[in-house]
Structure 1
Amino acid sequence: MTFQANFTALAGFPPMSWQVRLFHDWLARGTLPSGVDIPTGLGKTTIMALWLIARAQGARLPRRLVYVVDRRAVVDQATSFAETLRANLDAEAKGLKGSLGLDGRSLPISTLRGAHIDNREWLDDPSATAIIVGTVDMIGSRLMFEGFGVSRKMRPYHAGLLGADALVILDEAHLVPPFEKLLESIETNPSQYAPIDEAHRALIPRFKLVSLSATGRERLGDVFSLQESDLEEPHLATPITLTRLNATKRVTLRPAGEKDLPERLAAEAWQISRSTQEHIRCIIYCNKRETAKATKAALDRLVSDLRKKDPGHSRIDTELFVGARRNCEREKAAKRLANLGFIAAPAGNRNGTAFLVATSAGEVGVDLDADHMVCDLVAWERMVQRLGRVNRRGLGDATVIVLDPIPAKEKKADTPAPADLRAIKQHEALLALLHSLPKYEDGSADGSPNALRALKRCENLRLLISEATSAAPLRPALTRALVDAWSMTSLKEHTGRPDIDPWLRGWVEDRPNTAIIWRRYLPIRASEHPVAPSEIEDFFEAAPPHASEILETETWQVVDWLMSVAAKRSGKAKNLADNDGSLDGELDTVHQGDERASLPAAALRSDEVIAIALSPAGDLRQRYGLKDLISGDKKIETSIRDRLNRSLAGATLVVDARLGGLTSDGLLSEHDTTDSPNTADGADNWMALLENTPTAKKVQSVESPLIRFRLRSVAATNPVVSEDNSHWRERLRFSAERSDEGETLRWLVVDKWRYDAANEHDRSVGPSQSLEAHRSAAAAKAREIASRIGLPRLEAQALEIATRLHDEGKRAEHWQRAFNAPRQGGPYAKTEGPCNIRLLNGYRHEFGSLRYAEADPEVQTLPADLQELILHLIAAHHGQARPLIRTSGCDDGPPSTLKAHACKVALRFARLQKRWGPWGLAWWESLLRAADQQASRDNDCPMKDITRESPK
């Protein structure tokens, strides 16, 4: 099949000329430009399809495509297109699957929303073609060994597969110049970050970066941009590129006061709608969230007044589009946007007028298309993005009203501050650029992509564009010493390991964010039996926060919300108890599992833990009861607020679902709510809001659950074993209720999906399997991975040997006892449990495996550098040995000898890190860990081969 035929089958539409040229001149040859500078609305996301086709045709391009967007949005094009590619590879484009090594399985994708949200399928097989869609913070932190929401043990695994054999596509790179520079530094400085030896450097697959932008900021190097020949598209019935480039967008600039800006924005949008008999779609962009909320309120008043005058008037909808929602409700919002016609809806399907009020959350990475637009004046690069969301496909005639907010007059200093001077200069440049645009016959400015493109190409306006664009924030330099410090993930604390944010976003004045999740079950029990921090951390490692349940917003907003809701809940509980005493009976059952979770908010006690703050690594930061969050004294309240702002910055806050505080649209609310939010650990389908959608069918599929853990409250007198243990395995038991004597009365049981492996114990619990059988199965998987990647003979042999020997430490008698191994047929690598971790006394079986590897004859036949690599891969296969590993519980020698061996482990890590580079060594580790996990999953379900999974 030709490229055009393959593209059409894969994407669902024919390619534009620029896409054909980018494929033939670059990707088909196994090369990549440093950047792609294409106007908004011309389909830059399709680079995913070009990459897939090129790989299918044998081009030497990285196996993993990592598509990075600035922030989460309700509807991101990257997720939608990745889902389309996956579906079409199983249908019209299935002829490409064999060449991609995907025979018998679907393309692994991990996305920002929907059925594949952060599913981490790409970790299953390092040799597989895969697409990962993530945000700057998600991908950047994981690349730099600091993975937000990833345990320390798993951080090297993520970093290794993101830092090698990966092509990062940085969408709208102008928004995050510090992150672009960080990626550029990794890509272009092999002497610092790649293996020091040329032969080793050639062995580690490449890390590549392509920046996408439509605003004028450009990377150095070969940047792909439109040519005049791209406007000719004889293979298309209607030339798409030319039509979209010349889309009519009539821009008018008008002054407005800051104070009455919301009223003016609403009035201008309302006037556009009243000036036509058609049902229109109008988007109103606001620079501030408060302005957006006030603008929507003003529009709602106008709609209400009209309905009073004309009750029979056709339907008018208003919608607020802000970023801070959970994924569950974002899916609901996306469906509503589609129904309202803001996502590629034909005009003929409309049954009324609709207004969409949006903040920056609706500017980037969102396939919005309005008929008309009203907005306030912002930096040039943002104006370009906003203009790209109106008459996107060039089929209409858009009116665009830009209001220039004039600040209220106030006494100015004789000498303006540098920031004020910069703002004045930027404002003057913005006005000059808008006045430089060509004019239509009615006097309005031409805001089409072609007009903007012409401005960018004009040498005389380059300085003006630079002044009108937001200044790139200052950023710290990336150094090898910093990367080495971040890569020491087995160290809980490291004085040379700074916070990663400045390297991702620069030194900016943005306020810190906090992630919130609502849970039905928390690891708490009565105060007379306190819960240790390690119990809480183990609980949330077993039932970790999932991307689909997270609401992320500014920390100060979370603090305000938390204190306000806590005060209301505290007052409600007190009033109920004072009025009729009905709370007393409920409080007796507050720690009894399901009963507790179904209690009303009034049942919250002042001394009961209702929120738990976790660090990005899952460490406990703080526990909060109602009494910790409220006070009648203003000074104490200020102190509480300051303390919360410090402890919640960058944290994940897990709150009791009975606290509520969430609207049906997924937005934070300080007002009282009658129902607890639905939760990922609840009895009902977590993604029930998606019913009757393709996503819901995938989520509900028994083959691929979205949430790969579940919680059960079980009385100690009842069997703890799951009734459905064909699909679920017990992961952890938490003693939720104890008698006065300390005996457990009720367990909170965390089950894991049969193929999931959040920690090392997961891989050791399942259908019983002898150590010999697991050794053989894992070694076979390693051999297959090495073959598909194309490792040289000796390196492939080293990987296979390391995988064969990695679990030898499980021969230890106390490991077999701790995991309840059968007495016959051992030793075992996998047992049905239950396991008693206390019997291990801290024993690390990977440390115990080292003496077997050192004495293995096959190891000794290899060169010394590969012997060292084998020993490190074994020691690090559960995320340890970077650089430290525990020696407790090991009976292989006296403490002094074990300590000396542990020192060798640390020194070996340092040598290998220098030899292979930070990401090269982590990549090696990922190969063994993937082979181990594949073998364990096959053992869990012998009929399932994770590397050859049938398409759903």
Structure 2
Amino acid sequence: MTFTVSDFPRFFAAVNGGHRPFPWQMRLIDSIITEGRWPAAITAPTGSGKSAVVETHIFLTALNAVGAAPRLPRRLCVVVDRRALVDSQADRAARVLSWLETSSDALAAEMAGALRSLSLSPDSPPVVLANLRGGIATDRRWIDDPGACAVISATPDMWGSRLLMRGYGTSPAARPREAGLLGVDSVVVIDEAHLSRQLLGTARWVAGHAGEKASAIGVPALQVVESSATARVDEGGTAIGISAEDLADPGLAPRMTRPKPVRFLESPDWSGKKGSKKYVETLAEEANRLYDPQICGTVGCIVNRIDTALRLAEALGDDCPCWVGPMRPMDLTALKADYPGLFGLPDDGTHTTPRFLVATQTVEVGIDVDFVALVTELAPASSLAQRFGRVNRKGARDSGPITVVGPPERAVKDQLPYLQEDLRAGLTWLHDLDGPGGASPESIMACPPPPTLPERPIVKLPHVGDVMRWEATDDAMVADEELELWIRDSLQPDQLQAGLVVRSPLPDDDALAISLLTATPPSEDEVFPVALWKLRSVLTTLSERHGDHDRAFVLRDDEVNDIRLDDDPVDIRAGDVVFVDSGHALTRKGVVVTDASRPEALKTLWGTASTRVIVDGLPGAHWLEDLCGLEDDEAQRAFTDAAENGLITRGPDLIEGVRLSWIVVKGTEEIKDDDSIRQVWTPSEGLVTLEAHQDGVACRAGHLCDTIGITATLRDDLVAAGLHHDDGKADPRFQKYRLNAPDGSEPLAKSPARSAQDVSRRRWSSGLPRGWRHELRSVAVAWPAIEESDDPELVARLIGTSHGRGRVLPQPNASSLINEQRDDDALKNRIMDLFVEGEWCSLMGRTSWRLGAWTCCYLEAVLRAADCRVSKEGS
């Protein structure tokens, strides 16, 4: 079969439990195909299926792959100011991906094949998924394949900082790649855009600034979609939303029109401060009143403060999960596994439904939960409208009762994060919802909530000078860039945060524990986000208990050290990650608190889920003796020969030459993702020559350009850059000190060492000067060969920035690139002119001006992707 646009309803139903698309969703498809771009705005209200932008993007990208749709952006970014929505959108995309990969439907197989044809490798997934919602680690798979169909779920900070070349939580070397792939060949849907006015303005400025030059290379520029029921579209823009005729649709009508009667419960105990015991009892009583055992479903309880949520969940009993922002991602994943139906995930019928779910604002926006009833604290009108949208979300029941608990009107005051004026406006709006429909979406469309007061009356837009500064992604600045001005509505200082990780079992010896923690960097999944003041209090309490392992360690600037818990205050800083042993009273309902009275059973990881640790008492402990005293290569070979999987890192000897303290086992793919090791190491058994590697990168770059649709001239430039990007590695110093190449061999691209641990050690013990960059030397060495290119300056730039470094400012220790014993005068002079006298800075400026900053970043990302793929394949 050959699928067409007429197959969209069938595809949509297959991935949405049989539900066919609504009329407005079909209009969205038709509009994108007709206009050749996404609309400026989606104005559908809460509960009407705005999350279907995921299915729309994946289907249209597959349709383009078979030549039946226009060339549209390959990456969809869904951005919203709620971490829970980021997870929800990621779950939705994962559901579609699962259908593409496992369904026996012929349509799934054809779509999957079409999508894979866009990827760098035929064994790639049909859709690349990424979840960027904050934390210490981020998913990098999306930057490794610029041509692939991708769905990226992100919070405003995580997406905006990457667009502006300063990605939070990412390395400076990765910043240009991320910026290029978000600023070119991407569409961003900013959901509930009224919550992110500043980010919307910045995104539109970047789209306008980079648009013309990005389109000139043959791919779409950034497209920005404002998703909000109150969106206003400039003249000439397209908006897609719900019309009165849509309410006749049998699938949409129940969602939009089923009544949601609203009751306001006045409570004299409502307070702008910490809720009292009596107030929590009032909320619990109302939740129990709304619970009907005859109706299978969950009563939602949404409150404004985390402390209130935890105490309410405890008051409602064990059958009451709690969902708040400061949870570990792994705990939220477990919660979804326990109650998949509650979260809109497939359920095989073996799971129970909890009577209650207590949550904070984290569930307000776009979450696919479907409560049978709702108790909520008073909040601004726009927040209440979002909370109401979680009740009878699919219109499957006759009605969905709602109770709003709040104070008498005269007693309304600030209850952070909400202000008195917005709370009063919310209370007034509630009184207007007194019709038979109550808070149904149809009623809210007729009586829209008043907007909250803007925290910034003026949207600040970037200018060209800002872009020039952002381009210096790898240069040491006097002060870090403060991006809040361009990506946040609020300029109030954030509550400083750190992370807390629980590990078990750690060695009793602190020095051995530090070495093991260094070898197992934390993953985002296992990190509790904690306010800095709260974490200091928790650590102080831990030291006062004088129990087992009353100690802590801190990861800061890539180094792990112990912490003095008797300091006042304890020396931890924003962005630190603190490790403690398991068994301490740290949490209530899976949230770090200062008043925990007993230890909770907390699952622990060793960084990524695939990492395995071998210590005394755990399976495989015999390896601690068997691999002790061997060379790195010998130890790895012995481990592999015994049919064990993974690459090993060995800790210090516990008994010299007799027994190791610990062993860490990681999957090959995880090692391959370490960029610094991947540059000089491959799991291939044979020698990887420099010529073979560069030929492979050039070939792969050309193929990638063809898949993406980059113009023929630029394709030739990227191929030329691939052919010469590692010329500098031929320097005998690099071959000897960095790669340990055998004497008399052809120049190599990768070390012949069979152990990644050995390569990592050589990185720090290399005889090359600190800061010596082979790609910068490559520019000077390759210059005579690339002068005949169509755009030699662009080719030179792509070579010199091929690892994310060498951008803009003069390079430190640049004269050390010269090999005094081997280089002729022409090469020496070229190195001096480029990297000492400043010609490189001028070249970078000229290429950015001609091609555009984001376009240059994008082309760098394409070349780097080709290099990474060839290295991962072992050449």
Distance 1:822 1:348 in 2: 61
Q: Distance in 2 between matches of 1:714 and 1:174?
A: 62
Distance 1:562 1:778, change over 3 A: same
Matched position secondary structure for 1:5: helix
Secondary structure at 2:173 match in 1: coil
Over 3 Å counting, the alpha-carbon distance change for 1:113 and 1:178 in structure 2 is: closer
- The reply to whether residue 554 of structure 1 matches residue 489 of structure 2 is no
Larger mean Cα displacement after TM superposition, 87-96 or 474-483: 474-483
8 A Cα contact 1:143 1:163, kept in partner: yes
Counterpart of 1:39?
Answer: 45
**Greater relative contact order, per chain length (Cα 8 Å cut-off, separation 6+):** 1
Question: 1:250 offset after TM fit, Å?
Answer: 0.5
Contact 2:131/2:154, CA 8 A, preserved across alignment: yes
User: Could you tell me whether the CA contact under 8 Å between 1:156 and 1:922 is conserved in 2?
Assistant: yes
How does 1:798-817 map onto structure 2 within 5 Å? 798-817=717-736
Report matched runs for 1:433-582 at 5 Å. Answer: 433-440=429-436, 446-456=438-448, 465-466=450-451, 471=455, 476-495=460-479, 497-500=481-484, 503-508=487-492, 510-519=494-503, 544-568=521-545, 571-573=546-548
8 A contact 1:373–1:400 mirrored in 2: yes
- Shift of residue 230 of structure 1? 2.2
CA distance in 2, matches of 1:757, 1:348: 38
Rounded Cα–Cα distance in structure 1 between residues aligned with 2:254 and 2:580 = 53
Question: Is the counterpart of residue 379 in structure 1 residue 315 in structure 2?
Answer: no
CA distance in structure 1 between the partners assigned to 2:260 and 2:840 by the alignment: 64
Could you tell me which of 899, 919, 924 is aligned with 2:859? Answer: 924
Aligned to 1:310: none
Does the 8 Å contact 1:231/1:242 carry over to 2?
yes
Describe the SS at the equivalent of 1:210: strand
- Per the alignment, residue 108 of structure 1 pairs with 127
93-102 or 263-272: bigger deviation: 93-102
| C-alpha spacing 1:558/1:15, structure 2 compared with 1 (3 Å) | same
- Cα deviations by residue, 1:635-679 (Å, 9 ceiling, x for unpaired): xx3xx16x64xx22xx04141445855559643255476699554
Structure 1 position 773, deviation (Å) = 0.9
> What is aligned with 1:759?
675
Could you tell me how far 1:131 is from its partner in structure 2? 1.6
Deviates more, 1:80-89 or 1:494-503: 494-503
State the one-letter code of the partner of 2:364. E
Deviation sequence 1:66-109 (CA, Å, 0-9, x none): 12232322994311221122122233322223443256542232
2:808 to 876, 880, 883: 883
Change in 2 beyond 3 A, CA 1:897/1:109: closer
1:727-762: per-residue Cα shift (whole Å, max 9, x none)? 9786988868899xxxx9978768562472322332
Deviation at 1:261, TM superposition (A): 3.1
Distance 2:612 2:648 in 1: 23
- Contact kept? 2:374, 2:403, Cα under 8 Å: yes
Give the structure-1-normalised TM-score. 0.76
1:272 aligns with 2:286: no
Does 2:859 correspond to 1:867? no
CA RMSD of aligned residues (A): 4.1
Distance 1:126 1:526, change over 3 A: same
Partner of 1:839: 767
Please state how far the C-alpha of 1:362 moved relative to its aligned partner: 2.0
Ranges in structure 1 where 5+ consecutive residues have no aligned partner: 234-238, 301-315, 457-463, 574-600, 605-609, 632-636, 689-710, 941-952
Shift of 1:177: 2.2
Q: 2:750 maps to what in 1?
A: 830
CA spacing shift, 1:254–1:683, aligned 2, 3 Å: closer
Structure 1 counterpart of 2:370: 369
2:227 aligned counterpart, secondary structure: strand
Query: Residue type matched to 2:380 in 1?
Result: A
Cα gap change, 1:168 to 1:728, in 2 (>3 Å): farther
C-alpha change, 1:492 and 1:59, in structure 2 (3 Å) is same
Residue identity over aligned pairs, in percent, reads: 25
Q: Letter of the 1:830 partner, please give it.
A: K
**Which one of 52, 66, 73 corresponds to residue 77 of structure 2?**
66
Q: 1:950 is matched with which residue?
A: none
Q: 1:398 aligns with which of 391, 397, 400?
A: 400
Cα distance, 1:17 vs structure 2:
1.1
The answer on whether the counterparts of 1:165 and 1:206 sit within 8 Å (CA) in structure 2 is yes
1:892 and 2:811 correspond: no
1:430 aligns to 2:414 (yes or no): no
Native 8 Å contact 2:41 2:231 kept in 1: no
Is 1:48 the counterpart of 2:54? The answer is yes
Name which of structure 1's ranges 347-356 and 807-816 shifts more when overlaid on structure 2. Answer: 347-356
SS at match of 2:320: strand
How do residues 12-31 of structure 1 correspond to structure 2 at under 5 angstroms? Answer: 12=16, 13=18, 14-31=20-37
Give 1:518 deviation, angstroms.
4.0
Partner of 1:241: 252
Aligned to 2:224: 209
Q: Do the aligned partners of 1:376 and 1:405 also contact (CA within 8 Å) in 2?
A: no
Partner of 1:159: 179
Aligned-partner Cα distance in 2 for 1:84–1:347: 15
Task: Tell me: CA distance 1:352–1:495, structure 2 relative to 1, closer, same or farther (3 Å).
Answer: closer
Residue ranges of structure 2 left out of the alignment (5+ in a row): 271-275, 614-622
Equivalent residue, structure 2, for 1:612: 554
Question: For 1:658 and 1:28, how far apart are their aligned partners in 2?
Answer: 58
Q: Which amino acid aligns with 2:100?
A: L
1:338 equivalent to 2:258? Answer no
Asked if structure 2 preserves the Cα contact closer than 8 Å seen for 1:763 and 1:830, the reply is: yes
User: How far apart are the structure 2 equivalents of 1:383 and 1:733?
Assistant: 54
Mean Cα displacement is larger for which, 549-558 or 711-720?
A: 711-720
Which is further off, 105-114 or 879-888? 105-114
Q: Distance in 2 between matches of 1:129 and 1:719?
A: 44
Distance of aligned partners of 1:897 and 1:797 in 2 relative to their CA distance in 1, 3 Å threshold: closer
Name the counterpart of 2:329.
327
Q: Does the CA-based 8 Å contact 1:166-1:206 persist in structure 2?
A: yes
The change in CA–CA distance for 1:530 and 1:552 in structure 2 (over 3 A counts) is: closer
Partners of 1:881 and 1:909 within 8 A in 2: no
Q: Normalising to structure 2: TM-score of the pair?
A: 0.82
Question: Residue 513 and residue 171 in structure 1: after superposition, are their counterparts in 2 closer, same or farther (change >3 A)?
Answer: farther
With over 3 angstroms needed to count, the CA separation of the structure-2 counterparts of 1:848 and 1:424, relative to structure 1, is closer
Give the aligned length. Answer: 803
Spell out the pairing of 1:637-786 with structure 2 (5 A cutoff): 637=568, 640=569, 644=572, 647-648=573-574, 651-658=575-582, 660=584, 663=587, 666-669=590-593, 671=596, 678-681=603-606, 717-720=629-632, 721-722=635-636, 723-724=639-640, 753-754=668-669, 756-766=672-682, 767=684, 768-786=687-705
Code of the residue aligned with 2:284 in structure 1: it is A
Structure 1 letter corresponding to 2:668 = W
In the alignment, what sits opposite 1:702?
none
